[in-house]
Structures are given as structure tokens and as C-alpha cells.
Amino acid sequence: MNHDALLRIAEDAVRDTGRLIRSLSQSERGVAGTEIGGREVKLHADQRAHEHLSRILSRTGLPILSEEDKESHTKSLDAIWVIDPLDGSYNFTRGLGHSMVSCAYVEAGQPVLGALFDVSTEDVFVGGADHPSRMNGMPIRCSDATALSAAVLCTGFPARFSFTGGAGTDSYFAFMSGFAKVRMLGSAAHSICLTARGAADCYAERSIMFWDVAAGIAVSQGAGARLLTPNQFSLEPLSVILAPPSLIEPVTQLADRSRAFPRH
């Protein structure tokens, strides 16, 4: 199956799954449990989204790696769907903001295609490095900002982020302080989509998981953004920086100077 066909399937799948999530009653949405010392909330809606999205994608015959299916986490990152059925679960259950249905097609460990559905707004983002990205069918492009003094950074403290203090935390704050504005929105996928369409200028996060960012990385690259961190993806916590070409040099210098994202 060619990439154009896969992208159409992914787009339809996230839209259909997102509309299912929007239709759930309050009891069907609620908290099912917590993980990572209570810092990651799992909802009944997460499981419903996983089942629905997986059922649609399974028709392609390709394997599926889902955040909600721990048995799938041993699969090879090659010719595979990587999904986060509901990124921003806590936002969703508390009405705090955006949450996203996220689906990436990954080849040789690289996100090639991405499709995302915003549960709050019903916006759909699709694209990839070789597929110019679109929001609701219209082309999108990352920003052309040239100065950090006017740039907006989207970031966050994911469940696996260490708050133990010391040089690691200080370096991260030093990195964030280099931007004009910093926004933490509770969904890595939504933050990357804002970067892809130029509403924000840069996305950076440490200790984030591949399924949280895979689809967004593909879409942001299709919108012209560049990945500045090492791109040897795995299912271990990752560091990710995405920036427009016009900010590559100052963001790289800031990352190196702050030592927030050590080079490997």
C-alpha cells in the first residue's frame, strides 16, 4: 500500500476515533486508574479510543504499537502504525484544554506520515516529510521567526520528567528562559501541531515517549520544521526539539549553552 493511501486511512481513522471520543458519556470518559506514581492518568476513554483506532488500522494488515497496549511495546519500529489514542488525557477528563488522537506510520524507526485529530476543535492535521502538511485540508507552514527574543516555545513536564532538582532541572529552565514566551498545554501532540502551523515557533520536551510525538514530528516536518535532537527513536523516554529553519542556529546554540539537551 502506498503512502498516499496510508495517509488517507490514518486521516479517516483519527477523525472517526475522535468523534467517538467526543460522543462518550461522562461515565465512559472517567478515570480508570493511574500509573507512574499517580502522575499519569488512564481513562476509560483511552481504552475505547485504543480499541476503535486499532480496529480501523488493523484492516491494513500492518502491525500496531499503541501506548495502551503494553504487549505491543516489543514490536520493531519498522512498517508499523504507532498510535497514542488520546494524548492529553488529563486535559480531556478535566476540561482543561486540547487533547489529540494521534497516529503515525513509521518506517525504519522514522515517523514518515502523521495524522492527528483535535478532540476539542475537530481540527485534523495530516502530513509527512514528503507530504506537505495540511490542517483541515489547507496547507500549513511553520513560522519564519528569526529571533528567540520574539519566539514562543511549547514545552511540558511529562509524567517521566524528573523534578529532583540539580543541574539537569536548572539546565532545562535555562533553556526555556531563552525564549520570549513559554507555553505548557498538557498535550505534546497539540503543542507540536501548533509549531507545525506557526502559532508557536518551537517545541521542546525531555522524557517524552515516542508515541506522544511520532505523528506530530511527521506533520511538523511536512510543514518545514526541523528535528534538532538525535533521531534514533526508541521506546525509551526521548528528548525532542523541533524548530523552523530560521531558528535552527539560535535554538541549537541555546540548547548547547544551557546543556539541557546533551548531544549523544
Distance (Å, rounded) from C-alpha 164 to C-alpha 198?
33
In this structure, the number of other CB atoms found within 10 A of the CB of residue 85 comes to 29
Q: Where are the alpha helices (DSSP H) in the chain?
A: 3-23, 26-29, 44-57, 89-94, 167-176, 188-196, 210-222, 248-258
In this structure, the number of other CB atoms found within 10 A of the CB of residue 73 comes to: 13
Domain 3-139 has CATH 3.30.540.10: yes
What the block records as the C-alpha cell of 139 is 496547507
What is the CATH class of 148-258?
Answer: alpha beta
Contact 127, 114 (CB under 8 A): yes
- pLDDT at residue number 99: 94
Q: Which of 183, 198, 190, 188 is CA-nearest to residue 244? A: 198
> Residues of 123-144 as b/e, b for ≥16 C-beta within 10 angstroms?
bbbbbbbebebbbeeeebebbe
What residues of the chain score a pLDDT lower than 70?
25-42, 158-168, 263-264
- How many other C-beta atoms can be found within 10 angstroms of the C-beta atom of residue 63? 15
CA–CA dist 242, 143 (Å, integer): 11
CA atoms within 13 A on the CB side of 15: 13
Pairing of β 80-87 and β 181-184: unpaired
pLDDT score for 207: 84
- 40-66-71-29 Cα dihedral, nearest 10 degrees: 50
Q: In what order do the strands lie in the sheet with 202-208?
A: 181-184, 152-155, 202-208, 238-243, 226-227
Q: Are strands 80-87 and 64-66 parallel, antiparallel or unpaired?
A: parallel
Query: Is residue 263 classed exposed, middle or buried when 0-12, 13-18 and 19+ CB atoms within 10 A define those classes?
Result: exposed
Task: List the chain domain ranges.
Answer: 3-139, 148-258
CA distance 23 to 94: 16
The rounded mean pLDDT for the chain is 89
Say what the pLDDT of residue 36 is. 47
Per-residue DSSP letter, 235: S
pLDDT for position 34: 47
Give the contacts of 49 (CB within 8 A, at least 6 positions apart): 17, 20, 21, 68, 85, 86, 101
